[in-house]
Amino acid sequence: MTAYVIVDNDVIDPEPYREYLRLITPTVERYGGRYLVRAGRIHLHDTDWAPGRMVVIAFDDAAAARRWVEAEDVAPIHAMRRRHAHSRLVVIEGVDVAGDEPGVEGAA
């Protein structure tokens, strides 16, 4: 089941953050990920949540996503992101073919 890494970054140091982008980009492909969203224009609806620079990366499954997030060779680059942005990162599993939603009983 496809899993997604979703990151919300509020960049605080733009110049060093550009170096982070240069370094992180090839690691995504190397670990089997593909960018779906990378800082596109955000349209707010029904919320006061104002995300910063949103990124969504698809991986084949949660294990593959976690391998990238937890990789020793990528750790120093993730640390750069946290130094130069207020950053929130989650891994979330997608919906399976049957459309079942884990953890939600009777969800429609």
d(CA 62, CA 35): 15
What's the whole-number average pLDDT of the chain? 91
For residue 105, tell me if it sits in a domain: no
- Is 54:37 a contact under the CB 8 Å cutoff? yes
Q: What would the pLDDT profile of 73-92 be if each residue is shown by its tens digit?
A: 999 999 999 999 999 999 99
Show the domain range for 88.
Answer: 3-41+52-93
Q: pLDDT (tens digit, 9 = 90+) per residue, 15-43?
A: 999 999 999 999 999 999 999 999 888 88
CATH number of the domain where residue 36 is located:
3.30.70.100
Q: What distance in Å separates the CA atoms of residue 80 and residue 5, rounded to the nearest whole number?
A: 17
pLDDT band at 105 (very low <50, low <70, confident <90, very high): low
pTM of the model as a whole: 0.85
Alpha-carbon distance of 59 to 99, in angstroms, equals 18
Question: What's the structural domain count of the chain?
Answer: 1
In a domain? residue 8: yes
